[in-house]
Amino acid sequence: MGGSEIRRTMPLFPIGIVMQLADLSARQIRYYEEHELISPARTEGNRRLFSLNDIDRLLEIKDLLEQGINMAGIKKILAVSQKESVERDPVAKKPEMTDDELRTLLKKEMLSPGKISRSSLRAGDLSRFFR
């Protein structure tokens, strides 16, 4: 788990917000969880709390569903794409990075990106909103 992992996996959003961000119904989101495509955290009182990773994943699921892929297929695909993203993550791949390398990386992360309209959210977009 790299440095950015911490933020991206922080359970922050209630389902109501996620519904808006991903444009999905509560029923859909819970259904995907039922099929183990996502595993949002829970509060002490059992309310779901979603991370940015969860939301990105939901956008991916939505995308794949629209391509006619079913739960089983999506599950397989997501399992692969997750493995890939871990291998591709520069921080995760080089945990023994020198201080200067890490410093350079962090500076790059601090750069401000441009604006994006929320209504046109697609899989992967969220990672550009939040880092």
Partner DNA sequence: ATTTAATGTGAGAAAACCTAACATGTTATT
Partner DNA sequence: AATAACATGTTAGGTTTTCTCACATTAAAT
Which residue from 27, 96, 113, 119 is in contact with its own copies, where contact means CB under 8 A?
Answer: 113
The partner in contact with residue 51, picked from its own copies, DNA, none with C-beta cut-offs of 5 to 8 angstroms by kind, is none
* Residue found by looking up tokens 């297929």 in the block: 73
Q: Which residue has the tokens 């750069």?
A: 111
Q: Per the structure block, which two tokens stand in for 104?
A: 């350079």
Measure the CA–CA gap between 33 and 17, rounded to whole angstroms: 16
CA angle 94, 112, 103 (to 5 degrees): 30
Own/partner contacts of 23-29, CB < 8 Å, gap of 24 or more, are 23/62, 23/121, 24/58, 24/62, 29/58
130 binds, among DNA, its own copies, none (CB under 5 to 8 A by kind): its own copies
Distance of closest approach, residue 124 Cβ to its own copies, in angstroms: 12
Among 28-36, 63-71, 76-84, 90-98, the segment contacting its own copies (CB under 8 A): 90-98
Say whether residue 115 binds its own copies (CB under 8 A). yes
If one asks whether residue 94 binds its own copies (CB under 8 A), the answer comes out as: no
Contacts with its own copies by CB under 8 A lie at 1-7, 9-10, 12-14, 16-17, 21, 43, 49, 90-91, 95, 99, 102-103, 106-107, 109-118, 128-131
